[in-house]
Amino acid sequence: MRNYAAECIGTFVLVFGGCGAAVLAGPHIGFAGVAAAFGLSLLVMVYAVGPISGCHLNPAVTLGLVLANKFDPRRAPGYMVAQVVGGIAAAAVLYLVASGKAGFDATASGFATNGYGDRSPDHYGLLACFVSEAVMTGLLMFVILGATDIKAPVGFAGIAIGLALTVIHLVSIPVTNTSVNPARSIGPALFAGGGAFFQLWLFIVAPCIGSAIAAFVYTTLRPVDPEAQITMRAATQALPTEQEQRVDAASANPPVPPKARS
């Protein structure tokens, strides 16, 4: 249960931190500031809830980890529900705060929702937005799989993943306002309503497709080590806090000492 609570809290912080920056401070900090807010929110949550749940905070990421044999599929539905609940709760609190300003209108302001066509910040079409979301989510998933690999340096995944999310936002905010995370999109769309709600499907489908492709590509380039496969499937964490699992894997395959010179 604590894993699900951690996912809910972590997603709340990610959505409130990123979307809150866009809604409350967007005119002052610009795209770069919003991108940094999303990246930093994810980075700090990696170290805050990573030891508890693995810090997925994203249904598309959970799906990718399942497909890459790095997460128990039986736990995936609970994680996804917790993430969506956290995102909706964050949007609710953000709506409450933003409504304190006279004249605020969630629908008219956009409320940090994602969109295509007329709802795209720079009016990109449906196909361009779909491709952008799929590719950007795929890049994020690829970084996550690499940074959390059993042979990756321990303790640095949060930095790599947070910076990756920042770059992704810098590139794609003008296209879709950047989702790459269904849980990030659902909450704001529910409160903004209108076109945001009817376009929500793209920001659920495209990230999941991109994540699935990234999982396939990564596991093709780096097949799961048979010696570590059971450990990876049994792990309850998906980040470098898997210190014990890494130590166990290293102990099972100790390095061969070099031969003495004659």
pLDDT tens, 136-145? Answer: 999 999 999 9
The pLDDT of 169-196, averaged and rounded, is 96
For the chain, the average pLDDT equals 88
**In this model, does residue 89 exceed pLDDT 70?**
yes
CA dist., res. 51 & res. 230, Å (int): 19
Q: What is the DSSP letter of 114?
A: -
pLDDT tens, 22-80? Answer: 999 999 999 999 999 999 999 999 999 999 999 999 999 999 999 999 999 999 999 99
Q: What is the structure's pLDDT at 153?
A: 81
DSSP secondary structure of 39-72:
HHHHHHHHHHHHHHH----SHHHHHHHHHTTSS-
Q: What is the structure's pLDDT at 249?
A: 53
pLDDT tens, 249-262? Answer: 545 555 455 454 44
pTM as predicted: 0.85
Contact by Cβ (8 Å): 175, 132: yes
CA dist., res. 192 & res. 186, Å (int): 10
Q: What is the structure's pLDDT at 246?
A: 53
Run of H or E residues at 112: none
Give percent of the chain above pLDDT 90: 77
The pLDDT of 114-126, averaged and rounded, is 96
Give the right CATH number for 1-251 from 1.20.58.340, 1.20.1080.10, 3.30.70.360, 1.10.10.10: 1.20.1080.10
DSSP secondary structure of the chain:
-HHHHHHHHHHHHHHHHHHHHHHHHHHHHHHHHHHHHHHHHHHHHHHHHHHHH----SHHHHHHHHHTTSS-GGGHHHHHHHHHHHHHHHHHHHHHHHTTSTT--HHHH-TT---SGGGSTT---HHHHHHHHHHHHHHHHHHHHHHTSTTSPTT-HHHHHHHHHHHHHHHHHHHHS--S-HHHHHHHHHHH-THHHHTTTHHHHHHHHHHHHHHHHHHHHSPPPHHHHHHHHH-S--STT-HHHHHHHHHHSPPPPPPPP-
Q: What is the structure's pLDDT at 240?
A: 43
pLDDT tens, 221-240? Answer: 987 664 454 333 333 344 44
246-258 burial code (b ≥16 CB/10 A, e <16): beebeeeeeeeee
Q: What is the structure's pLDDT at 95?
A: 97
Domain ranges of the chain: 1-251
Q: What is the structure's pLDDT at 139?
A: 98
Give the position of tokens 């990718």: 64
Q: What is the structure's pLDDT at 230?
A: 35
